Amino acid sequence: MSDVVLAGELPFPQRPDYLAAGSTLRSWLTTTDHKRIAILYAVTITVFFFMGGAAITAVRLELFVPNGWFLTSDTYNRLFSFHGIIMVWFFLVPSIPNTFGNFLMPLMIGAPDVAFPRLNLFSWYLTLVGGAFAVYTLIAGGVDTGWTFYTPFSTMFSNTHVLTAAAAVFVVGFASIATGVNFIATTHMLRAPGMTWFRLPLFVWSIYATSIVMVLSTPVLAISLMLVIAERWLGLPIFDPTRGGDPILFQHLFWFYSHPAVYIMVLPAMGVVSEIIPCFARRRLFGYDFMVYAIIAIAGIGFFVWGHHMFVSGQSPYASLIFSFLSFVIAVPSAIKVFNWTASLYRGQISFNSPMLYALGFVGLFTTGGLSGLFLASIPVDVHVTDTYFVVAHFHYIMVGGSVSAFFGALHFWWPKITGKMYPESWAQFAAITMYFGFNMTFLPQFFAGYLGMPRRYHTYPAEFQLYNVMSSAGAAVLAAAYLLPLMYLTWSLLHGKRAPSNPWSATGLEWTTSSPPPPNNFDMQPLVDRGPYQYHAERESAGTDAPEVQNARSLR
């Protein structure tokens, strides 16, 4: 035991941790421990991630040559639709909130569990039911509407399994709402003594803001899908223009959810990065208050920009102007965050551990995605690149380059806490760097192909675009290999990894004050909080360097 006890660490307590608290299948399927539920989600979304990945591998293979070679256009449509539906609703939306949010939020605020533990478990079962509908859709032959279910195609023309696909998303939406309600209540009610709102770690703030977006926007998605089901199944005239309906209404409803939903996907990622950067730069996070206001601003303004997805739909040009303007406005808080992360690195003692590599990757890729968002927010440019690969590149830079990088960053940062095991760092660094290169190789060419006019969602294209597509497909192969690496060395770490101390990175959050893995009720004693979350400058103080910095920091206490 002695080799794992670092200076200043508590020795391992002699009581069971949450993983040892029961090992039967039943103990897992009936658990109400937020940490075990987080593991259930982690396993579930990993399965979905690889399913969605398999679908898109076939798509990229098909796009290797201009005229297609092994998929019919019909199969192709079903594959990219399945990819989008699975990745958005069954991987990205639940990814960070339901795994790391569930695991860490109570630990970070010093609580023994979430506010409604049974609702938490119920929400996981809802995810399974939704997933069952999605898998059934696939087995029954798939759906070809794309992840957006646009009417009138989805209601009147598609001959595929729209009903079960819509049911899948409908059900998993309720899992999202239940989780959001739970996190909001937890943040309000279960903070440890002294954990004031402005001492909350930014990860908690971002999960809190995400939860509010989930609770307010997801019902709109549920209603939109109900209406599609009502029209398609029961024949009620809602979107059908020949019977007085309005097909554009669906787009408004859909994007009124789905634009805020992109922030459900990226805010938690921002939270993760805000935890990792101070830790590996040994610096207090620059501009904590501004970061909090930026989170709130993003969550709020996110509700007012949906119309930027509809510049070519025939909506009023005046509406488009306002949506364009507000889309530029929402870039401001995003830019503030990028600025503050960068400023937190300034004069830090940076170590490039794997979580940090992922966090830095996030900042670069998110910035690229955000800047291309500004191109799209500008109406004339958007009209030019609408429904081209430029848009595909834009959202993948943010959703995959940003959110998935942050997911892997979180996985590596908190892995020792969650599993009680260390992983081989050099493998982890290698995977992070390969992922970064694979990602850019896949998606950078898509900006060019799109700008030059290659439309999205087609399974054939003119030969002039082949070079971009070959690069993209080759990059996707590198990326896929990079995603498989963590699966291998993390499994190895579970079996053979060294035991993790309670705080391997000398981080300052409350979650690092309990043992790794934590006991079932999180803390042996009720934690008391007497300071803000990122007091890393204390280390510099003790090192006796950098006097002005220390003074500055002190005055903040």
Residues that bind ligand HEM (CB under 6 A): 148, 262, 265-266, 308-309, 327, 330-331, 334, 370, 373-374, 376-377, 382, 386, 391, 394-395, 398-399
* Smaller CB separation from ligand HEM, 410 or 553: 410
* Smaller CB separation from ligand HEM, 288 or 366: 366
The region of 85-93, 140-148, 234-242, 251-259 touching Cu ion under the rule CB under 5 A is 251-259
Q: Per rule CB under 5 A, is residue 394 in the interface with Cu ion? A: no
Rounded distance between C-alpha atoms, residue 283 and residue 541, angstroms: 11
Which of Cu ion, ligand HEM, none is residue 44 near (CB under 5 to 8 Å by kind)? none
Give 457: exposed, middle or buried? Use CB within 10 Å, 0-12, 13-18, 19+.
middle
Q: 152: how many CB neighbours lie within 10 A of its CB?
A: 17
Which of Cu ion, ligand HEM, none is residue 275 near (CB under 5 to 8 Å by kind)? none
Q: How far is the CB of 542 from ligand HEM (least distance, A)?
A: 39
Evaluate whether 237 touches 244 at the Cβ level (below 8 Å): yes
Evaluate whether 267 touches 346 at the Cβ level (below 8 Å): no
Q: How far is the CB of 428 from ligand HEM (least distance, A)?
A: 25
Q: How far is the CB of 264 from ligand HEM (least distance, A)?
A: 8
* Smaller CB separation from Cu ion, 60 or 259: 259
The region of 44-52, 69-77, 253-261, 542-550 touching Cu ion under the rule CB under 5 A is 253-261
Residue with tokens 């949906």: 306
* Smaller CB separation from Cu ion, 261 or 553: 261
Which of Cu ion, ligand HEM, none is residue 334 near (CB under 5 to 8 Å by kind)? ligand HEM
Please tell me what DSSP assigns to residue 464: G
Q: Find the helix or strand (DSSP H, E) in which 65 lies.
A: none
Q: How far is the CB of 551 from Cu ion (least distance, A)?
A: 44
Examine residue 97 and say whether the peptide bond preceding it is cis (omega within 30 degrees of 0). no
Count of positions (residues) in the chain: 557
In the chain, the amino acid numbered 338 is V
Which of ligand HEM, Cu ion, none is residue 56 near (CB under 5 to 8 Å by kind)? none
* Total residues interacting with Cu ion, rule: CB under 5 A: 1
Which of Cu ion, ligand HEM, none is residue 398 near (CB under 5 to 8 Å by kind)? ligand HEM
In the chain, the amino acid numbered 303 is F
In the chain, the amino acid numbered 229 is I
R_g of the chain, CA atoms, integer Å: 23
Q: How far is the CB of 150 from ligand HEM (least distance, A)?
A: 10
Rounded distance between C-alpha atoms, residue 222 and residue 250, angstroms: 12
H-type helices in 86-159, by residue range?
93-94, 102-109, 117-139
Q: How far is the CB of 96 from ligand HEM (least distance, A)?
A: 12
Tokens of 140: 């029954």
* Smaller CB separation from Cu ion, 135 or 377: 377
Please tell me what DSSP assigns to residue 421: B
The region of 187-195, 254-262, 331-339, 545-553 touching Cu ion under the rule CB under 5 A is 254-262
* Smaller CB separation from Cu ion, 191 or 259: 259
* Smaller CB separation from ligand HEM, 386 or 440: 386
* Smaller CB separation from ligand HEM, 236 or 374: 374
Which of ligand HEM, Cu ion, none is residue 87 near (CB under 5 to 8 Å by kind)? none
The region of 24-32, 238-246, 255-263, 405-413 touching Cu ion under the rule CB under 5 A is 255-263
Question: Which is nearest to 40 in space by CA: 21, 17, 15, 19?
Answer: 19
Which of Cu ion, ligand HEM, none is residue 435 near (CB under 5 to 8 Å by kind)? none
Rounded distance between C-alpha atoms, residue 231 and residue 151, angstroms: 10
Please tell me what DSSP assigns to residue 397: I
Per residue, the 3-state secondary structure of 487-502, as one string, reads HHHHHHHHHHCCECCC
Q: Find the helix or strand (DSSP H, E) in which 460 lies.
A: none
Which of Cu ion, ligand HEM, none is residue 502 near (CB under 5 to 8 Å by kind)? none
Angle ∠(213,331,339) on CA atoms, nearest 5: 105
Q: How far is the CB of 251 from ligand HEM (least distance, A)?
A: 10
Tokens of 49: 């991630």
Q: How far is the CB of 265 from ligand HEM (least distance, A)?
A: 4
Question: Which is nearest to 392 in space by CA: 508, 476, 314, 334?
Answer: 476
Q: Which of 83, 161, 259, 421 binds Cu ion (CB under 5 A)?
A: 259
**Shortest-Cβ-distance residue relative to ligand HEM:** 373
**SS3 at position 388:** strand
Which of Cu ion, ligand HEM, none is residue 363 near (CB under 5 to 8 Å by kind)? none
**Shortest-Cβ-distance residue relative to Cu ion:** 259
Q: How far is the CB of 507 from ligand HEM (least distance, A)?
A: 26
* Smaller CB separation from Cu ion, 257 or 483: 257
Q: How far is the CB of 152 from ligand HEM (least distance, A)?
A: 18
Question: Which is nearest to 83 in space by CA: 400, 493, 419?
Answer: 400
Q: How far is the CB of 403 from ligand HEM (least distance, A)?
A: 6
Angle ∠(344,348,349) on CA atoms, nearest 5: 145
* Smaller CB separation from ligand HEM, 28 or 153: 153
Q: How far is the CB of 374 from ligand HEM (least distance, A)?
A: 5
Which of ligand HEM, Cu ion, none is residue 327 near (CB under 5 to 8 Å by kind)? ligand HEM
* Smaller CB separation from ligand HEM, 392 or 553: 392
* Smaller CB separation from ligand HEM, 385 or 490: 385
Residue 471 phi, psi dihedral angles, 5° rounding: -60, -45
Alpha-carbon dihedral angle through residues 356, 358, 364, 368, given to the nearest 10 degrees? -160
Q: Find the helix or strand (DSSP H, E) in which 455 lies.
A: none
Which of ligand HEM, Cu ion, none is residue 422 near (CB under 5 to 8 Å by kind)? none
Q: Which residues contact 281 (CB under 8 A, 6 or more apart)?
A: 344, 345, 348, 349, 350, 356, 536
Residues engaged in binding Cu ion (CB under 5 A):
259
